[in-house]
Amino acid sequence: DDLGAIGAWYVFANIGLYPMIPGVGGFSLNSPAFPKVKVMLGNGKILTISGGSESKLYIQNLRINGKNWNSTWLNLDEVKNGGNIIYQLSTTPNKTWGTQPPPSFN
């Protein structure tokens, strides 16, 4: 028994968000497998993630709360009060998406 570690990894990996750095309020972004997910946050707000696909693995475009997003990092502050993350995926890579560097941590 791994106390839910593999289950938690699977869910995070398949909704397109992964808490890459323990103790830091943020997520690494990846392509989600589920077409639509609603996450009920601890404050009762809902975060909706849509656009996932098991066959389209590459992020072409991403919008978070109506804003175009070009980083592979998402700060928790952007979604802690709920909102929408909309992925546009493709079978071919978009080499211009995700070119904004993630934050640097000291």
Residue in this structure with the two tokens 């992964």, named with its chain if needed: 18
Q: What pLDDT score was predicted for residue 39?
A: 97
Return the DSSP state at 34: S
H or E element that contains 84: strand 83-90
**Which region, left, alpha or beta, applies to residue 44 given φ > 0 means left and ψ of -120 to 50 means alpha?**
left
User: Nearest CA to 85 among 69, 64, 67?
Assistant: 64
With a cut of 70, list the residues of the chain below it in pLDDT: 1, 106
Q: What pLDDT score was predicted for residue 79?
A: 97
Domains of the chain as residue ranges with CATH = 5-90 (3.30.2080.10)
Q: What pLDDT score was predicted for residue 57?
A: 96
Q: What pLDDT score was predicted for residue 104?
A: 79
Q: What pLDDT score was predicted for residue 59?
A: 98
Distance CA 86, CA 29 (A): 12
Q: What pLDDT score was predicted for residue 31?
A: 96
Q: What pLDDT score was predicted for residue 94?
A: 96
